[in-house]
Amino acid sequence: MSTLFLYLGFFGVLFAAGVPVVLSLAAAAVAMLSLKGIDFIVFAQKFMVSMDNFGLTAMFFFILAGEIMNGGGMTRRIIAAVSKLVKGIPGGLAIVTLVSCGVFAAINGSAIATMLAIGAIMYPAMVRQGYSPAFSVATIGAGGVVGPVIPPSIPMIVYGSTTGDSVAALFAGGFIIGLIILLGEVAVAYIVSKRRGWGVNVSEVDFGNTRGIAWALVFPFLIMVSITSGLMTPTETASMAVVYAWFVGTFIYREFRLRDLPSMTATAMKGSAAVMAIVGAATAVGWILTYERVPQQVTEALVTAIHGPMAFMAVTFGILFIVGMIMDLTPAILILTPIFVGPVAAFGVDPIHFGVFFCATLTAGLVTPPVGTLIYLGCSMSQSSLSRVVRELLPYIVAVYAALLLSVIFPEIITYVPRQLFKLYAN
């Protein structure tokens, strides 16, 4: 266990000093190798081997598909279609924002990309209708949290590539819990807006025509069916998503401009490269911890102190809540995953249930102060103070964590769909 605390000390000091996450992870790994007298070539080897993973390429293609959706007019049509369904309802635009985030998330899989894409259209519209800037960005950020939960999910791709669990099964497990989180957020938006008189007796915002909306609405189902049926791997599905978004934007909507493709590709490359660099550094750290038997030691400590899978899940929830508050999503997944693999098996917790719960709880940290990435993105978008945005986010945060706790009490919320699709629990 001393190795774990030593590593956390190295990483914590560097992270607190403002060193970028990937460099903090890499420096901590190199320092640990030096202290253990292990050749530094191990770091380079583990770094490169971890990125030689076909499954990780799905990240790039899903991000690129989202960029093409925006440029090709698909995102705007989704928002326009949803807005017609909630016209005149208290919090109508807030509900449009949340539902649009859910639909966009079912194609893109990234919280930040979802918030930026939907926020660029919905933030000005909400403010023009009288919603406060802080509440507007809080709603957009809460919708962004759904991104990595509803399939496809980039964090689940990273988690599955680390543990070897089926990414398709993880995607399927995130479907119902993602919808519950989304419905909880919609309820919050409705109640808060009704209390404050937002969204009633206001002029309808024109988001443009919905011509060809069926092509956009069928997209998420096409992705889900392709993955869960086994027809395509997640990477193949992501590639198909790019082609589909390009085809619809170019030939159906006629809004996609070929000259924008290089910049879209560059954005997708930067986003996926940043994650893959963190994956490489974290894999080296994971190897050191495994070499020093840290997962086994953690397992023994937890088995001795905790009795039963429910207690283990409760303790895990507390740990993930704290880590999510102070660390970004991807490094948190990569740092904690090797440590929890042993205890999950020891307590007999279903690996798909744990994987989805694990990723979803850490994702909630994106809107949990003090380090929630989406909080600061919202502050930048609206020029609102941190305290105001956090105050508006609190009801949404409660709704998200309530849904997660519900999935601990009733694991079937996560396991039901994978059970039906993959017969994972057949006798």
* Domain-located, residue 21: no
Please provide the DSSP assignment of 208-253 as one string: ---TTHHHHHHHHHHHHHHHHTSSS-HHHHHHHHHHHHHHIIIIIS
- 347 contact partners, CB below 8 Å, separation of at least 6: 302, 303, 306, 308, 309, 312
Here the tokens at position 324 are: 């999510």
CA of residue 41 relative to chain centroid, distance: 33
Residue 176 has a pLDDT of: 94
pLDDT at 427 over 50: no
Q: Do 284 and 95 contact (CB within 8 A), yes or no? A: no
Q: Evaluate whether residue 191 is within a structural domain.
A: yes
309-319 pLDDT, tens digit per residue, is 888 998 899 88
Lowest mean pLDDT among 106-115, 116-125, 360-369: 106-115
145 within some domain: yes
Can you read off the two tokens belonging to residue 303?
């088995």
Domain that holds residue 309: 54-422
Is there a domain that residue 37 lies in? no
Q: So what's the pLDDT on residue 205?
A: 64
The position carrying tokens 């069928």 is: 218
What contacts 192, CB < 8 A, 6 or more positions away? Answer: 91, 94, 135, 198, 395
In tens, the pLDDT along 220-276 reads 888 878 877 778 888 888 899 899 999 999 999 999 999 999 999 998 888 778 777
d(CA 57, CA 78): 26
Write down the pLDDT at residue 273. Answer: 80
Residue 118 placed within a domain: yes
Report which listed range, 215-229, 269-283, 372-386, 392-406, is most confident. Answer: 392-406
pTM for the predicted model, two decimal places:
0.78
Q: Is residue 10 assigned to a domain?
A: no
Main-chain phi, psi angles of 52, to 5 degrees: -85, 60
Identify the pLDDT of residue 250.
93
The number of domains in the chain is: 1
Q: Is residue 4 part of a domain?
A: no
Residue 27 lies in a domain: no
